[in-house]
Amino acid sequence: MAGTEPSDLHLYFDYISPNAYLAWKKLPQVARRFGRRVVPVPVLYPALLGAHGLLGPMEVSPKARWMKRNVLRKTRRLGIPFGPPPTHPFNPLLALRVSSLLLPEEALTRLIDGLFHATWGGGPGVTDPATVAAIATEAGLDGEQVVARAAEQETKDRLRQRTDEAIHAGIFGIPTVTAGVELFWGFDDFEYLERHLAGKDDLDADTLKAWNAVQPSARRRKV
């Protein structure tokens, strides 16, 4: 991505995910500790799922039940403000498109922070253009102009392009953080991200090579 460095931490996210909210709140602390910069990359989560033949957590009832409890436990332990959005799933397209605009870094950070808070911090959600415009204005931007730019074809294409690039790079879920060629999926993978950044990665190259050489002897039958 233009304007980034190899040492940057790229955070692939969609507002639909509560774990992406946790990642957004936590990653800047990790980045500062290791002298890295966070580059937010909004992507269309349903497109990732479709490209890899996956279902979202809310499409699997037992997994949805577990995830709600899991997120509540984590937010309480981490001391992160949390409140469910008005509806879920919801349409995050407007929020994703304004987040993909080419904006000054600090203003973009404030915008994304406000949108995440409106979604998962007990706010009004991010599906209403007037709400999104107000959040953008609070971030120091021209809110009405930001919402108008989100409707432009160039903005729509940019979000789609970033999503396609993520799929090509092997991103299959959100949140995902990439550190160079290494990919860390999910907020619960942050422990391994931090160990990797500290030069203490537990990945054993020889065992990984052997595992990559293993061939399947059975296939799951599609039902």
Name the DSSP class of 15. Answer: T
The pLDDT tens digits of the residues spanning 134-154 come to: 999 999 999 999 999 999 999
Among candidate residues 113, 110, 24, 21, the one with its CA nearest the CA of residue 71: 21
**9-212: which CATH topology?**
Glutaredoxin (3.40.30)
* Calpha distance 159→162 (Å, rounded): 5
Whether 184 and 176 have beta carbons less than 8 Å apart is answered as: yes
Q: Above pLDDT 70, what percent of the chain?
A: 98
| H or E element, residue 39 | strand 38-42
Taking the C-alpha atoms of residue 48 and residue 46, their distance in angstroms, rounded to an integer, is 5
**Contact at 8 Å (CB) between 154 and 30?**
no
| pLDDT over threshold 80, residue 100 | yes
Cβ atoms 56, 88 nearer than 8 A: no
Pairing mode of beta strands 182-185, 176-179:
antiparallel
Pick from 42, 41, 11, 35: nearest CA to 25: 11
Beta strand 176-179 with 38-42: parallel, antiparallel or unpaired?
unpaired
**How would residue 2 be classed by pLDDT, with cut points 50, 70 and 90?**
low
pLDDT of 121: 96
Break the chain into its structural domains and give their ranges. Answer: 9-212
Question: What residues form DSSP beta bridges with 11?
Answer: 40, 177
Threshold 0.85, pTM exceeds: yes
Q: Given a cut of 80, is residue 6 above it in pLDDT?
A: no
